[in-house]
């Protein structure tokens, strides 16, 4: 499957490159595309890894795992997201995070050692990709800060509102795509019954409109403060 069949040139990692340049990059570094079914574990926690993963299609979930096997859900990954960077760049770092496929996904795996040494063969292409990689790292840091802000909210309502406002900015829409209630409860780190009850109260008060896969928050004053 060639890169332009997947629209890889549209991904942030390849921003500024033409389809044939993306193809040249993939061949030069030995990158490969692999398919995973929904529910599959794409990347294991604490295992050695030398590849940067780029989500080319579908959605995935970051899962933090401690040494006792306990898991906590992190943020969702959508098309274009990177993962596995820390363990690939820092080989002595045993990353406690795993990646699970939320849907059927396609992942482009880029070998980090080959990426480092490909500069002479790739010329300007290499410089553009490395710039995009730095931008991606900066955006990832922003997501981590937003996650900390989310979990620091005192009430479930505040947590849900902030979650919707954050996703609204990323999706550039008041009506945002959200996961199912079970997954949403995991992301908000709350009880599913409590979440369902709070959603019902907010709907009754007219501040929330929703269906199974989307929500829209209606408090104009809160949106302006954010």
**What does the alpha-carbon distance between residue 200 and residue 182 come to, in Å, rounded to a whole number?**
15
Residue ranges with strand state E in the chain: 32-36, 41-43, 51-57, 60-65, 71-77, 82-83, 97-101, 105-111, 175-177, 208-210, 214-217
Residues 6+ apart with CB under 8 A from 36: 42, 101, 104, 105, 106, 107
CA 181 from centre of chain: 19
**What does the alpha-carbon distance between residue 40 and residue 22 come to, in Å, rounded to a whole number?**
27
Which tokens is 200 given? 């019902």
pLDDT per residue as tens digits for the range 119-161: 999 999 999 999 999 998 888 888 889 989 999 999 999 999 9
- Burial environment of residue 57 by CB neighbours within 10 A (0 to 12, 13 to 18, 19 or more): middle
Name the residue ranges covered by the structural domains of the chain.
3-149, 154-225
CATH of 3-149, one of 2.40.50.100, 3.40.50.620, 2.30.110.10, 2.60.120.10: 2.60.120.10
Total residue count of the chain as it appears in this document: 226
The three-state DSSP-derived secondary structure of 41-52 is EEECCCCCCCEE
How does residue 226 score in pLDDT terms, banded at 50, 70 and 90?
very low
Phi, psi torsion values for 193, nearest 5 degrees: -65, -40
Q: What is the pLDDT of residue 225?
A: 46
Architecture in CATH for domain 154-225: Orthogonal Bundle (1.10)
**What does the alpha-carbon distance between residue 17 and residue 20 come to, in Å, rounded to a whole number?**
8
pLDDT per residue as tens digits for the range 57-104: 999 999 887 766 677 777 789 999 999 999 999 988 888 999 999 999
pLDDT per residue as tens digits for the range 168-191: 998 999 999 998 998 899 889 899
Q: What is the pLDDT of residue 217?
A: 95
More confident residue, 143 or 11: 11
> To which H or E segment does residue 19 belong?
helix 19-29
Tally of CB atoms within 10 A around 116 = 12
Signed CA dihedral, 150, 152, 156, 158: sign only: negative
């Amino acid at each position: 499957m060639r890169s332009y069949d997947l629209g890889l040139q549209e991904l942030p990692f390849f921003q500024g490159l033409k389809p044939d340049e993306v193809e040249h990059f993939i061949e030069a570094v030995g990158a490969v595309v692999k398919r995973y079914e929904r529910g599959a574990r794409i990347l294991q926690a604490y295992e050695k890894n030398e590849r940067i993963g780029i989500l080319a299609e579908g959605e995935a979930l970051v899962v933090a795992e401690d040494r006792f096997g306990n898991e906590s859900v992190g943020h969702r990954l959508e098309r274009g997201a990177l993962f596995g960077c820390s363990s690939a760049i820092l080989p002595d770092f045993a990353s406690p995070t795993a990646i699970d496929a939320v849907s059927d996904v396609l992942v482009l795996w880029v070998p980090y050692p080959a990426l480092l040494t490909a500069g002479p063969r790739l010329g300007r292409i290499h410089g553009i990709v490395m710039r995009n990689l730095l931008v991606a790292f900066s955006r990832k840091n922003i997501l981590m800060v937003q996650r900390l802000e989310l979990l620091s909210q005192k009430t479930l309502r505040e947590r849900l509102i902030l979650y919707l406002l954050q996703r609204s900015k990323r999706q550039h829409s008041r009506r945002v795509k959200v996961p199912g209630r079970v997954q949403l409860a995991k992301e908000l780190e709350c009880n599913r019954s409590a979440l369902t009850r709070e959603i019902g109260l907010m709907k009754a008060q007219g501040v929330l409109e929703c269906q199974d896969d989307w929500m829209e928050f209606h408090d104009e004053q809160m949106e302006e403060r954010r």
